[in-house]
Structure 1
Amino acid sequence: MYYLGLDIGSSSIKIALVVSETGASVAVVQEPETEMSMLAIKNGWAEQDPNEWWIHVCNGIGRIIKENNISSKDIIGIGISYQMHGLVLVDKEGKTVRNSIIWCDSRAVAIGQQAFEEIGEDKCSEYLLNSPSNFTASKLKWVKENEPEVYVKAYKFMLPGDYIAMRLSGKINTTVSGLSEGIFWDFKKEGIAEFLMDYYGLDAHMVPDIVDTFGEQCHVDEKGAIESGLKMGTPILYRAGDQPNNALSLNVFNPGEVAATGGTSGVVYAVTDNLSVKESARVNNFAHVNYKPKVEPRIGKLLCINGSGIQYRWLLNNLDVSSYEEMNNLAKEIPIGSDGVVLIPFGNGAERMLNNREVGTRIVNLNLNNHGKGHLCRAALEGIAFSFVYGMEIMKSDGIEVNVMRAGNDNLFRSEIFSETVSTLIGYDIEIYNTTGAIGAARAGVLQNGDFETYGKVIMENDYIMSFEPLKNKETYKVAYQRWKKELELTLNNL
């Protein structure tokens, strides 16, 4: 028997199949094979048609069943991971009334900032653990203000994963974790954030029913079965946004554990049981997948680093090199600190952890007689690693205590220079696992009975690759980091 995992990204949909008894990965497919398009009618806007997600989900399910020669009867549960912070609006028939305003759309920034100022930083931090910022609630307010004819047609708002669950089951529901990522959850009163809904003038009836993150949330109905190829009655057992789900995929559930990703952008996601926040404008705080009010107040603190893997990819595309492996080998020939070359890697737009300032990519101390490609490669890896360390300093100032960092086997963490630099400067191990969000979502079926110990064993037995330990010779790394940090602070002061 198998569990099926769906990962609803903005670039593609990934579908995974795992053995229900052991958690072993059987297959992962991607739909479409090329990236999905985004509609950007205006600068800073980003929309997608949720119906396209559904088409790709159905195509992917059909492929994975056919390619692995199994029956839909063999699939005993479904887990869903999805791109966070998106807004999907449907009418009473479950039909979308407009395109989804997805996570990277920035049209509601001013709305969220005004709410933060008028409601007050203290109240937002105490009740929401966040600024309303550009999250789902602010996007819904934008629709009400700018598209009133659309707003009146809307029956419910949903997050992207809620929409896919609805297409499978015909039921409209969501989770506390999902509501918290949309900034609809009041952590102090442990219910819907009515004061924010009232401030924005949003209708309370638009909030979906709430179900547990783990367990039988709903079941595939006749229409969902016909369209997806799944068996009618198959339960949806789990649902979470992509970053909480990435933490789940890496067995990160408890205070002291940190999940990290080093893809196009970098993310540090740390678990705490402390509801106190100091950095609500720079660090996001969401109900983690195992959040239970009063009993287990697990909060996921998320810090995003825009200028991450995209910086290294830019070098790949613009230097005379053929691969990341070649770049890594060139970097290994250069000593720690890149012979003084410093690269500030924030060239991917405004950085939230730098108070939404656009710093850009900057290369300093470059000597045209002595420095070459290897120095640029090493300085880039170190600069990105230093940005992770800088982010961890912000997290620690917000009350995070860390025991271990766990990361997927993506491009940056595959680099020995990158991982050793981060591990040495933060002072604890980085464990590397070979997993994906779709596989994690599928395996979450194991957790319907709350057996986290067994789940952890599944991760270790199937995915663990290696660990990077802090090096004993830290001084050279510290000197290089302080040089980088000084250049960053000079840049920030001059903006």
Structure 2
Amino acid sequence: MSGQGLIVGVDLGLTGMKVVAFDDTGKPRFQAREASIQDMPKPYWVERDGRDFWELFSKMLRDLVEQVDAAGESLAVIGIGCHGDGAWLIDENGDQVRPGILSLDSRAIQTAARLNESVGDDLLRVTGQRVGPASPGVVLAWLKENEPESLEKARWFLSAKDFLRGMLTGSFGTDLTEASTAFTDVHTQQYSSEAFSLYGLEELEQKAPPISAPGDIVGGVSRLAHLATGLPEGLPVIAGMHDVDAGAIGAGAVKSGQLAVMAGTWSINEVISDRPVTGDTWFCRAFVEHDTWMNMSISPASSANLEWFVTTLCAADMDAARRAGLNPYGFIDHEVGEVGLDDPVTFLPFLYGNPMGIDASASVSGLRAWHKRGHLLRGIYEGIAFNHRIHCDPLVEAFSVEDIRVVGGVTQSDIWPQLFADTMGKPIQIPVGGQGGALGVAMVAAVGIGRFASLTEASEAMGTTTTTVEPTADGTKLMQERFERFMALVDTQKPWWAAQAAK
């Protein structure tokens, strides 16, 4: 099926953002990128100023529009997929009350622990999930205790994507996927007064944004947004979605029982289901269509650990590669391949958080004087894969998963995908093309404007092919041994982490 105008999907991550204009076959025609700026004003705090966010977002869109206009093409619709959780407070004029709090923020770790201890079972029953430090309800509870004036000034509490949607259209609201991160009933997928009460935030129910389906048209690009971004005035804007849902769709996971593994800033591991299934180790949230659910087990403990290591300790290598016109991350595979499989170094990838819900830190074990940097890099590869396995094992068992799709930084390596397959002990599918969340948003937007009758139809028309990486017997055995070593180190570290947290 064809139609007039290109479909624009926006994928906004915690470390970078991308916008892509697709045709009806899913072919990327034009794209633009920008960095995604974060501020860390205090330990545990990770924020973003809304004005800076909008400026970079607008700059990226202007770049895209210039390419589209130069080619004589037109646009049909735009949708945003963006990092979720955290909280953005907006006043009645649409201005930010304070900088947005991002999902890497862990200032509210004690608030989360207290809520899990006191009302965790009830939160699981009502909302389908216990909570982590960056869960919107937890962040808002922390603000009530520590910045009550910010909540008093706010007209809406939003996600990052909803803030940008408001800047584009002048109307504020949210979608099913973002609404279900804290305050909706897991069965009805609508706001629950009991959920607000469990968080001790009854007064915020009146500040909850209206809920739309992700593909619903919620407005058009305003005159002011047109001047800032270059987008055509009146261009339809869909409600958009949490980027984890967009990434799953872009990876081809649109049906019940498919597992999407996203190795990005966060370790995202999620299974679609046609009924709500709750469990202590995953969040049961709304998917992009009514009466479907996304069951996700997550932690801020994935490829961001590798990025921190190479940008902090390997900057000279990256700069040299860029000057030579090479992939700045290309040296990693080379050094990992040189050291082989013996004499391992174990790395716990907890620089930003962990899957245990405690105040754990990253650590390296087994390091010796004869080790090279490649041993450390391989340890990081393995540690990130093992953290994903911690999340995936319960999901695979609960949902009888056989189809595993992997996206993110891991797929750019020649070594890492095999290590992932051996760690999972199952074949993994890697989509070809790498447009990820932007493509997923575009598929939903295409359905929203009537290009396709369903998400399944859009996926079949716009989706990409995949390559399969099979686990090997020797590799699976080795990774099982290394995983047990990894978990033993976690158990050894727990008393030390607890002692440090108590200080």
What TM-score does the superposition give when structure 2 sets the normalisation length?
A: 0.84
Q: 1:16 to 1:304 in 2, by over 3 A?
A: same
Do the aligned partners of 1:220 and 1:233 also contact (CA within 8 Å) in 2?
Answer: yes
CA contact (8 A) 1:5 1:78 kept: yes
State whether structure 2 residue 427 is matched by structure 1 residue 429. yes
| CA distance in structure 1 between the aligned counterparts of 2:205 and 2:479, rounded to whole angstroms | 53
- In structure 1, the residue matched to 2:149 is 149
- SS of 2:103's partner is coil
CA distance in 2, matches of 1:39, 1:381: 26
1:454 match: secondary structure: helix
Structure 1 pair 160/479, CA: closer, same or farther in 2 (3 Å)?
Answer: closer
Deviation at residue 465 of structure 1 after TM alignment: 5.3
1:328 matched to 2:330? The reply is no
> Residue 211 of structure 1 corresponds to which residue in structure 2?
212
Name the CA distance, whole Å, in 2 between partners of 1:284 and 1:407: 19
The DSSP-based 3-state class of the residue aligned with 1:4 is strand
For 1:17, the equivalent position in structure 2 comes to: 21
What are the equivalent positions in structure 2 for 1:225-240 lying under 5 Å apart? 225-240=226-241
In the TM superposition, residue 223 of structure 1 has moved relative to its aligned partner by 3.5
Q: Is residue 266–residue 309 contact of structure 1 (8 Å, CA) maintained in 2?
A: no
Q: Does 1:451 align with 2:454?
A: yes
- Alignment check: 8 A CA contact 1:161 1:239 kept: yes
CA deviation map 1:328-381 (0-9, x unaligned): 23433555xx32424133241431x133241522222x5545x54444443433
Query: In the aligned structure 1, how far is the partner of 2:454 from the partner of 2:249?
Result: 13
Contact 1:238 1:441 in 2 (8 A): no
Question: 1:61 matched to which residue of 2?
Answer: 61
**Distance of aligned partners of 1:489 and 1:172 in 2 relative to their CA distance in 1, 3 Å threshold:** same
Match of 1:481? 483
1:96-115 matched pairs, under 5 angstroms: 96-115=96-115
Distance 1:309 1:10 in 2: 9
RMSD, matched Cα? 3.0
| Cα distance per residue 1:436-458 (max 9 Å; x no partner) | 43343234322225522332234
- Which ranges of structure 2 fall in alignment gaps of 5 or more residues? 319-327, 498-503
- Deviation (angstroms), 1:406: 1.6
Deviation track 1:234-291 (CA, whole Å, cap 9, x = no partner) reads 2113411121221122121223212222234432223234533232xx433321223x
Q: What is the CA distance between 1:79 and its match in structure 2?
A: 0.8
SS at match of 1:380: helix
> Contact 2:284–2:294 at 8 Å: present in 1 too?
yes
- Which consecutive unaligned segments of at least 5 residues does structure 1 have? none
The Cα shift of 1:494 comes to 6.3
Q: Secondary structure at the match of 2:348?
A: strand
Paired residues, what number? 474
Deviations along 1:46-88, one digit per CA (max 9) or x if unpaired, are 3222232222222222221113335998211011111211322
Question: Could you say which residue in structure 1 is the equivalent of 2:325?
Answer: none
For residue 339 of structure 1, give the secondary structure of its aligned residue in structure 2: coil
Q: Counterparts of 1:88 and 1:488 in 2: how far apart (Å)?
A: 34
Q: Which residue of 2 aligns with 1:179?
A: 179
Label 1:58 to 1:324 Cα distance change in 2 as closer, same or farther (>3 A): closer
Q: Deviations over 1:79-129 (max 9, x none)?
A: 1111211322222222222222222222333333333333x3321111111
**CA distance in 2 between partners of 1:375 and 1:453 (Å):** 43
User: Alpha carbons of 1:217 and 1:302: their partners in 2 closer, same or farther (altered >3 Å)?
Assistant: farther
SS at 1:69 equivalent: helix
Structure 2 Cα separation of the partners of residues 210 and 35 of structure 1: 26
Match of 1:360 among 359, 362, 365: 362
How far apart are the structure 2 equivalents of 1:61 and 1:428? 40
Equivalent residue number for residue 276 of structure 1? 277
| Aligned residues of 1:156 and 1:206 also touching (Cα < 8 A) | yes
In structure 2, the CA distance between the partners of 1:71 and 1:444, relative to structure 1 (3 Å rule), is: farther
Which AA in structure 2 matches 1:452?
A: L
Distance in 2, matches of 1:141 and 1:367, equals 45
Residue 262 (structure 1) aligned with residue 263 (structure 2): yes
Distance, in Å, in 2 between the alignment partners of 1:150 and 1:363 is: 43
Q: CA deviation at 1:186?
A: 1.3
The 2-side partners of 1:202 and 1:133 are apart by: 22
1:303 to 2:298 alignment: yes
Structure 2 residue matching 1:5: 3-state secondary structure: strand
**Structure 2: distance between partners of 1:308 and 1:372:** 21
The CA distance in 2 between the partners of 1:223 and 1:176, in whole Å, is: 27
Match of 1:26 among 29, 40, 43: 29
* Alpha-carbon shift at residue 25 of structure 1 (Å): 0.4
Change (3 A) 1:117 1:426: same
